Amino acid sequence: MKREKSDSINGEIGGKKACKTLSLTGETVLELSLCWPEPEGKKMKSVRRYYQKLQESFQKQWETELYLCACMDLAEKQEHGSVFYPWCASMAGEVIWMDEKCVSIAMKVQEERGDRRILEYRWGDVWYWEDGCPVRLKECVSGKRGWKEKLKKSFIEAAEGLRKQGIYLDLEKINCLHRYISMEYFALTDQELIFYCPQCTVAPAV
């Protein structure tokens, strides 16, 4: 497993990257790429440990369960004389905003299978520099009356905007979108809150 310092996350916050290629009988079966943030400072030690454990967890899962599935796919393709495409899995972190008080990180995990189907999971983390504790949503909206209803309305408006662009979305799911979006794992900028909707929640996979 090759590990190296990475500036692809953010030069101001630092990060690490690990890449690995798994093969079977000399043929590439699975390619892994993991990039995770490493905020500097003594107070951020727990945050660094969190992302390190996250990286180790995904890597272990991919090197065992996903690798086995990829090997089975290779065997099936060889048996039927079909073309085999190596599977890929990646974890990436991006600092989307930071100030003297906190840092906001957007995380993305992807698995691309042999049929070129991509499974994706996104979430956001916001941390205080002072003590390395997560920023809670209620701390971002404290003092704002009716913020929950406004948030629900903004979800619906955003979904409707996508529909007007020609993107198919399930109307029934749109009206209860707030039930599927995690209020705990969000991202933050100086202008907005960013929430992530699980894949295939309001639209079929393409």
Q: Name the nearest CA neighbour of 162 among 144, 177, 146.
A: 177
List beta partners, residue 121.
Answer: 109
Task: State the DSSP H helix or E strand holding residue 124, giving kind and residue range, or none if neither.
Answer: strand 118-128
**Distance between CA 173 and CA 171 in Å, rounded?**
5
Please report the pLDDT score of residue 41 as a whole number: 86
pTM of the entire predicted model? 0.82
**Distance between CA 99 and CA 189 in Å, rounded?**
9
Q: Taking a C-beta distance cutoff of 8 angstroms, is the pair 117, 89 a contact?
A: no
State yes or no: pLDDT of 33 exceeds 60.
Answer: yes
How are the residues of the chain apportioned to helix, strand and coil, as percentages rounded to the nearest 5?
Answer: 35, 30, 35
Please report the pLDDT score of residue 205 as a whole number: 60
Please report the pLDDT score of residue 10 as a whole number: 40
pLDDT, average across residues 49-63: 97
Tell me the pLDDT tens digit for each residue of 68-95: 999 999 999 999 999 999 999 999 999 9
